[in-house]
Amino acid sequence: MMTFTKAPGRSFFARRITLAAAAAALSLMTGCASHYLDASTKGVEPAEFTKPAQPAPVQLVFDFESKGVVNARATDFLKEAVKSEVQKSGLFASVDDKPATGGALLEVKINNIPLTDDAFSKGLAAGFTFGLAGAQVSDGYVCTVRYLNGDKTIIKTARHAIHTTVGNAASPGNAVKINSLKEGVLTMTRQILSTALNDLSKDPAFQ
């Protein structure tokens, strides 16, 4: 199981804007930034889920967090992708933002936990050419799915990570190169959520 150790850092989009600016400057001197999706979490196809005999309608509530604090911009960016993934799961009769008949509720939270500090960004600002030696920044993500229906409460979690390298840094082990951060974040969301939903579907209490 992937485990994370927290490190200081800024919110998801603030970090990524900083990284993008630093990468752009470094690319002029030493080469381009590269982005990688950690391969420890691969996602699960809906066909592999254990479907309930009588799926219930559910209200979906989603929040993206940066170190435990709600990030409204990232939430808005990923909201439809999360809803689509839950709908495709086949675990629920219907998925809506409003209260569902019967009162079932599915809460989904994805928390961005920086795994490394902004050393290469700070180094660039101070005049150091980190690209010569290379640098890597990693962002961890924890997805928590909480299902409530009557007296039942079921909680499942899954983990993922995205890595960014600049200059001569070696490619991260057990990772897949991606074309852009946007592609990486959307893929990460699908994979981490499908993993948590699969675990939910396998729980006898959910059936």
| 11-53 confidence digits (pLDDT tens) | 555 555 444 444 444 444 444 788 999 999 999 999 999 999 9
Cα–Cα distance between 110 and 29 in angstroms, integer?
A: 35
CATH says 12-202 is which class?
alpha beta
| 113-125 confidence digits (pLDDT tens) | 988 765 445 444 4
H or E segment and range at residue 189: helix 181-202
The DSSP letter of residue 55 is P
Output the pLDDT for position 115.
86
Output the pLDDT for position 6.
46
Cα distances (angstroms) measured from residue 34 to each of 10, 24, 63, 155, 187: 20, 11, 28, 34, 16
- The answer to whether the CB of 134 falls within 8 A of the CB of 86 is no
CB atoms closer than 10 angstroms to residue 89: 21
Residue 83 clears pLDDT 60, i.e. is over it: yes
The per-residue pLDDT of the chain, averaged, comes to: 84
| 53-78 confidence digits (pLDDT tens) | 999 999 999 999 999 999 999 999 99
Cα–Cα distance between 140 and 192 in angstroms, integer?
A: 11
Cα–Cα distance between 98 and 121 in angstroms, integer?
A: 42
Q: What phi and psi, each to the nearest 5 degrees, are found at residue 166?
A: -135, 145
Range in 1-10, 89-98, 128-137 the model is least confident about: 1-10
Output the pLDDT for position 114.
85
Q: What phi and psi, each to the nearest 5 degrees, are found at residue 7?
A: -135, 155
Output the pLDDT for position 198.
99
Q: In the beta sheet, which residues pair with residue 61?
A: 107
pTM of the complete model beyond 0.95? no
Share of the chain above pLDDT 70, in %: 76
Cα distances (angstroms) measured from residue 182 to each of 58, 99, 124, 162, 178: 28, 31, 24, 11, 9
Share of the chain above pLDDT 90, in %: 65
| 143-180 confidence digits (pLDDT tens) | 999 999 999 999 999 999 999 888 777 889 899 999 99
Output the pLDDT for position 127.
46
Show the CA angle centred on residue 133, arms to residues 115 and 172, nearest 5°: 45
Cα distances (angstroms) measured from residue 174 to each of 38, 45, 49, 136, 181: 6, 21, 25, 14, 18
Q: State the SS3 of 9-20.
A: CCCHHHHHHHHH
Alpha helices in 33-134 (DSSP H): 72-88, 119-125
